[in-house]
Amino acid sequence: MNDALEALQIAALLMVSIGAWAVVAARDPTRQAVVASLYGLTLGILFFSFQAPDVALSNIVISAVAMPTIILLAIAKTRR
């Protein structure tokens, strides 16, 4: 049980580091917003695996849905 939890934590940490790199590596802001959304999801898994489900819930909604939406809308507005 403990080993399984540890494996999940290590996997979540790896996903977050890959996700963070992917956000920086995506140069186009539109793509970056979508990648940042996926990164927010991995952060949610990280928080959940470290026993913080309250934080995970708010983080998933904010950084996977609300923040990318506002970034995308701002990009669409400035490109016109």
Contact footprint for another protein (CB under 8 A) = 50, 53-54, 56-58, 61-62, 65-66, 69-70, 73-74, 76-77, 80
Query: Do 40 and 67 meet the contact criterion of CB atoms below 8 Å apart?
Result: yes
Closer CB to another protein, 18 or 53, in the complex: 53
Query: Do 66 and 40 meet the contact criterion of CB atoms below 8 Å apart?
Result: no
Shortest CB 35 distance to another protein, Å:
19
Two tokens, residue 7 = 């494996």
DSSP state of 39: H
Closer CB to another protein, 35 or 64, in the complex: 64
